[in-house]
Amino acid sequence: MKPFAPAAVLVGAVLGLAALTGCSPTPRHAGPVRATPYTAASAPDGCPTAASLPLPKDFPADLPMPEGTVVTNVEHRTGGRLIVATVVRSGFDATLAFLHKQLPKAGYTSKDGEVEKDDAESNFSSTTVRGRWTLRKMPDCEGGVYLTYLTSAVS
C-alpha cells in the first residue's frame, strides 16, 4: 500500500526547487518588521522629492495642516478610518507647537498625549471627528518630520 508515494515525490520536488531558487518561508533579511506608509520618492538625504498627493475628500476640512506639508500616502481603513501620512519640513519643535496651538483653535480637544525626544502623539476630537496624530523625526532629512493623522467620523 503506497498511496502517499506520489505526494512525497511532489513535496520533495517543491522543497528541492525552493532550495535551488532561494525561496524560503522566512525572509532573507529577517529582523523587526516595521510598517511604514511613506512611499514618496526620496533624495539621497532622505527627504521626499515627489509632489504631494491630494488630500482625500473625506479628510476633515477644518483639521489644520502645517504649511508646506507633503502628503505621501493615504489609506482608507475599515470602520470609516482614514490615515493620511505626511512629511513636514519645518522641524519637530515647530510642528509640535503648530499642533498644540492650531488644533484647539480649529475646535479640537487633545487627550492622552505624550512627547519624547524624537516623537510625540496625541488623541484628539471635535464634535464631528475623532482621531490621533503622531509626529516622528526623520533621521535622514534635515528638519523633516513624519506627521500622520488617523481620523474617523464621530458616530
Q: For 81-102, write each residue's pLDDT tens digit.
A: 999 999 999 999 999 999 999 9
Taking only the tens place, the pLDDT of each residue in 107-155 is: 999 999 999 999 999 999 999 999 999 999 998 888 999 999 999 999 8
pLDDT of residue 43: 54
φ, ψ for residue 134 (rounded to 5)? -130, 145
Closest CA to 137 of 113, 117, 118: 118
Question: What DSSP assignment string belongs to 49-60?
Answer: -SPPPPPPTTS-
Share the mean pLDDT of the chain: 78
Q: What share of the chain is helix, strand, coil (3-state, %, to 5)?
A: 20, 30, 45
Write out pLDDT tens, residues 102-120.
Answer: 999 999 999 999 999 999 9
Pull the grid cell for residue 17. Answer: 526547487
Amino acid identity at 74: V
